[in-house]
Structure 1
Amino acid sequence: MTTSSGPILVPIGFAEQSILALEQAVNIAKITDSELFLLTVVEEPSTMQKLFSSYKESQEQLKEQVREKLEGLQEKYCSDLSRDSDCMVSVGAIYEKITEVADMIGASLIVMGTNGAEIETRKKFIGSNAYNVVRSAPCPVITIKGKEHRLGCNTIVLPLDLQKETREKVTTAIQYARFWDAEIRVFSVLLSNDEFVKGKLQRNLEQVEQFIVDKGVKCQAELVNVSDVSLSQAVLNYSEKVNADLVMIMTQQESDFTLYFLGSTARSIINESDIPVMCVRPVKKLDTTSYELQ
């Protein structure tokens, strides 16, 4: 499918994950006929550094060196794109500049690498630049953590819960499934033996599955019963089981841990998944008691 989409932004830190992210972004840009922007953010100098007159000269030299490296990557990876590509170097807080540039260029997607959390407390309370981008970005964000990934996408995993299923996530999944001719695997996690909850989850799954199939996209739905792992681990386990190429989640917190650590389930999935994760930021909450897809 070659329907044109908006620009794709790729933050580049020159680590292995950011190069993998660039490779994936180039592949998506080819499929969606999108422009591609490569961005490196040079962190703001400290107050002490600013006291010395030489810091401006050093910073300009650094920016020039970074631009040269970016242009080298652009030439290597972007030369056969049908649309334009460009390089940008900015100074400031990394995640703030990424979201600022994404907004400025009207990005339809951000694709970025992440090394995950280094320590447990950081995972819970601070998060990474990638997670902060996910929380504040004006568009969907794909995070790349694993060492290698297939180009393209055969299987998209779409976890659903009772309270916050939104049109945005399902519609975005359909959009990208069409780009790749991929199958969507819709599933819900049953964390209790409550028959009412089970019945409602099953009805939601069937409704979403039928909606996706009616849009001409391959889909399978499954209710997974777990009792000994967290919601995030259940998502990761299922994604590995079906050999997923992409996991799609909402950046808001899932129903079982509402407001806990500002989205601990989403954060755990982003930090721990070796499969690329697409985070869709919801525009608004829907009435969860009368949810209908249109």
Structure 2
Amino acid sequence: MGILNSKEIKMPFKKILVCIDFSNITESVVNSSLFLSKTFNCEVCLFHVIEPPIIAIYEDPFLSLDNQEVVLELEEILIEKFKAELEKFKERFDNVGVKANVDVEVGNIVDTILDYAEANNYDLIMLGSHSEGLFEKLILGSITERILNKTKISTLVVKGEAINKIEKLLCGYDFLPNSKLALETAVKIAKITDAELEVLHAEYETWLTHLAGIYEEVYKKKIKLLNDLEKEIKEKEGIKIQAKIEKGKPEKVIIKEIEEFNPDITVLGKRERKELKRLLIGTVALKVVKNSPKSVLIVKRGEN
């Protein structure tokens, strides 16, 4: 299979865009990015977006020129205020020798994050997700979900507690190119962190009795492929790995395994449609992100 093409361990990420919204998940996001930047020796940008109504106000054609200037001055005040807050977080990175900078922009949150990440060649976007309550689920739908739907860049969604260790990794695998890319990333992370890696394939159960024989034959072939995959990675990469197959709906199988295996990060790929400029995330991956109690990394093949 050749998961890694070189004996040299290449870092999975070099530049991380850390999206800060100053909510109650911010500490977890900052501390997670601090841990990952030290682990993978990469640079970081702490980034905040100020969104409308400021833009809507000063673009109002009925607003006088003097009042427009007042709004612009307010915008500059807010930018400096948030930059000062980001600088406080930056000190943590400075203290451990991690290259970090801060930036604040005004605009639509989703589009501004995506444009900034692509324009500055970031290969990982980090953002937080609230795990409880209807309001938090609506926030996930309006911000995180739209970023995941549109971005071409790998995205790590921090859920709950900060990532301060990587001892266990779970990787969803369906034999398709998107999951092979996710597995390649998971193997790199496991090699760097000496983490235990579990590779999980979820197999839909058939309800068509006349296809039961064909289904069982395919199922056995997949078991053999997973066993071969486990053996090859273990021998070539020298990591602790277990490959397994479970029957059921993929999102339910993965969530159950997250709850039982308790990985520090779950790594998933996504299927791509090349005809779309902004690629839509697969239903399974999005459901896992929404319902997982632990952080989830969605791996994408960026075009930066």
Task: State the TM bucket, normalised to the shorter chain.
Answer: 0.7 to 0.9
Inter-partner Cα distance in structure 1 for 2:183 and 2:238: 13
Q: List aligned pairs for 1:173-192, cutoff 5 A.
A: 173-192=186-205
Q: Give how far 1:233 is off.
A: 2.1
Q: Give how far 1:26 is off.
A: 0.6
CA contact 1:157–1:247 (8 Å) conserved in 2: yes
Percent of aligned pairs with the same amino acid: 21
From 119, 139, 146, give the equivalent of 2:153: 139
Runs of 4+ that moved beyond 4 A:
1-5, 116-120, 162-166
Count of aligned pairs between the two proteins: 269
Residue type matched to 1:14 in 2? F
More displaced 10-residue stretch of structure 1: 166-175 or 269-278: 166-175
Q: Which runs of 5+ in 1 are unaligned?
A: 254-260, 285-294
Tell me, yes or no, if structure 1 residue 94 matches structure 2 residue 74: no
Tell me, yes or no, if structure 1 residue 50 matches structure 2 residue 59: yes
Greater C-alpha Rg: 2
Inter-partner Cα distance in structure 1 for 2:222 and 2:32: 33
Q: List aligned pairs for 1:86-235, cutoff 5 A.
A: 86-115=101-130, 127-146=141-160, 148-164=161-177, 166-192=179-205, 194-213=215-234, 214-226=236-248, 230-235=249-254
1:32-78 superposed Cα distances (whole Å, 9 cap, x missing partner): 11111100011133534533422211111111111111111112x21
TM, length-normalised to structure 2? 0.79
1:262-284 superposed Cα distances (whole Å, 9 cap, x missing partner): 62221111111121100011479
1:166-222 superposed Cα distances (whole Å, 9 cap, x missing partner): 431121111111221111101112221620231232133123323321222210011
Q: Which runs of 5+ in 2 are unaligned?
A: 1-7, 207-214, 273-279
CA contact 2:15–2:43 (8 Å) conserved in 1: yes
From 18, 25, 35, give the equivalent of 2:33: 25
From 5, 8, 11, give the equivalent of 2:19: 11
Considering only aligned residues, what root-mean-square deviation do their CA atoms show, in Å?
2.8
Inter-partner Cα distance in structure 2 for 1:15 and 1:283: 28
CA contact 1:134–1:251 (8 Å) conserved in 2: no
Q: Give how far 1:143 is off.
A: 0.2
Structure 1 pair 32–282 and aligned structure 2 pair: CA distance change class (3 A): closer
Inter-partner Cα distance in structure 1 for 2:147 and 2:39: 24
TM, length-normalised to structure 1? 0.81
CA contact 2:57–2:71 (8 Å) conserved in 1: no
Residue of structure 2 equivalent to 1:60: 76
More displaced 10-residue stretch of structure 1: 166-175 or 200-209: 200-209
Q: Secondary structure at the match of 2:95?
A: coil
Residue of structure 2 equivalent to 1:256: none
